[in-house]
Amino acid sequence: MTDEEAPRPRPAYEIGQPLDLLSVAEIEARIATLEEEIERLDAAAQSKRAATAAAEAFFKK
């Protein structure tokens, strides 16, 4: 079994999951986790944009 075939761990929450049974602290913890994930995704997107721009600049010469 390769890494790609291995099952991924499920997150402790799912998008759209009902929130009425969560405490304020649990909701705030989820917000913090999601904000960290957004920052990680933004950084990855920025890196990919930079790589694409560099490749386009290289091949336009």
- Single-letter code of the amino acid located at 52: T
Say which residue, 14 or 55, is predicted with more confidence. 55
Q: Are 13 and 30 in contact (CB under 8 A)?
A: yes
Q: Is position 35 within any domain?
A: yes
Q: Using alpha carbons only, what angle is made at residue 37 by residues 35 and 42, rounded to the nearest 5 degrees?
A: 95
Enclosing domain of residue 31 = 22-61
Q: Is residue 5 part of a domain?
A: no
Does residue 46 form part of some domain?
Answer: yes
pLDDT for the residue 1:
55
pLDDT digits (tens, 9 = 90+) for 6-54: 777 766 778 899 999 999 999 999 999 999 999 999 999 999 999 999 9
- CA-to-CA distance for 7 and 21, rounded, in angstroms? 28
In a domain? residue 60:
yes
pLDDT for the residue numbered 26: 94
The predicted pLDDT at position 44 comes to 98
pLDDT score recorded for residue 40: 97
